[in-house]
Amino acid sequence: MSFHLSYRAEPGNPWFSWQYVRDNSDTILAALREHASLTGRAVLLAALVALPLAVLAYWYRRLTGPILALAGVLYTVPSLALFAFIAPYLGIGAVTVLTVVVLYALLVIVRNAVAGLNQVPPEVRDAAEGMGYGRWARLFRVDLPLALPGILTGVRLATVSTVALVTVGVVIGRGGLGQLIFAGFQNNFYKAQIMTGTVLCVLLALVLDLILAGVGRLLTPWLRSRPR
């Protein structure tokens, strides 16, 4: 998605301008929608990849080190370099942005999911086995529900970091709010444009984090009744 991002800075070049927001509301909302969409899809894809990896690391302890090490190596690669490496193969578009962002989100979700699974009390696992639960039944009925707080923590952290990382997609023209920020620098350092994109990024991260926190409370009612 491309936006028309050429604006004339107001006299005095203030850091915030309601006039800028009103005059360019359609462009700002389009950037916000793209940013939210890329973030949501990236976190969902990362979770779908990370959870099976975490389960493998939980079941086969010898794989824990290699899985976390691989995710850690991907996390340390500079995002611009990763875009440059992937773009020639996947093209310039949303797929490339999603691929890069998913790779960065993997480590956070895998690490927290593994930690959550490892915190399942051994006596609970033994009781489940004594009741005749097989590996898969125990995973879905015991291990994953008890590890859910740790998994959700990883998803929340990945979501917040993804909101920030999506802005880097501006290098291939799919950065959502990052395009507003970058265009502000190109447009004679238009402060209102830069600040609007930045504030919306922060607000988007806060809103998504609050939503996930609410979902976590709904999915883990036993934690609310735990004595303090």
Q: Is residue 194 assigned to a domain?
A: yes
Radius of gyration of the chain (CA): 21
Residue 176 host element (H or E): none
Where does the chain have alpha helices with state H? Answer: 18-23, 25-59, 64-76, 79-90, 94-118, 122-130, 135-138, 144-166, 177-186, 191-219, 221-224
Asked if residue 13 is part of any domain, the answer here is no
Q: From CA 130, how far away is CA 125, in angstroms rounded? A: 9
Q: Is residue 11 part of a domain?
A: no
Residue pair 181/35 in contact by the 8 Å Cβ criterion: no
Phi then psi for 94, rounded to 5 degrees?
-65, -35
* Domain at 96, CATH number: 1.10.3720.10
112-to-40, 117, 119, 171 alpha-carbon distances in Å: 19, 9, 11, 30
Contact 164, 43 (CB under 8 A): no
**pLDDT score at 117:** 92
Task: Tell me if 130 is assigned to some domain.
Answer: yes
Cα distance between residue 40 and residue 20, in whole Å? 27
Q: How far apart, in Å, do the first and last CA atoms of the chain sit?
A: 49
Domain enclosing residue 41, as ranges? 18-224
Q: Which is nearest to 180 in space by CA: 144, 204, 151, 214?
A: 204
Phi then psi for 110, rounded to 5 degrees?
-60, -45
Task: Note whether residue 64 is domain-resident.
Answer: yes
Residue-level pLDDT at 226 = 58
If you search the block for the tokens 């800028």, which residue do you land on? 20
228 residues of the chain, pLDDT tens digit each = 545 444 454 556 767 777 777 887 888 898 899 999 999 999 999 999 999 999 999 999 899 999 999 988 888 888 888 888 888 888 777 888 888 899 999 999 999 999 999 998 888 888 888 888 888 989 998 899 999 999 999 999 999 999 988 888 777 777 788 888 887 777 767 677 788 888 999 999 999 999 999 998 888 777 765 555
Q: What does the alpha-carbon distance between residue 154 and residue 77 come to, in Å, rounded to a whole number? A: 20
Residue 87 lies in a domain: yes
Does residue 134 belong to any structural domain of this protein? Answer: yes
- The count of domains in the chain is 1
Within a domain: 50: yes
Task: Please state, in angstroms and rounded to a whole number, the distance separating the CA atoms of residues 208 and 78.
Answer: 25
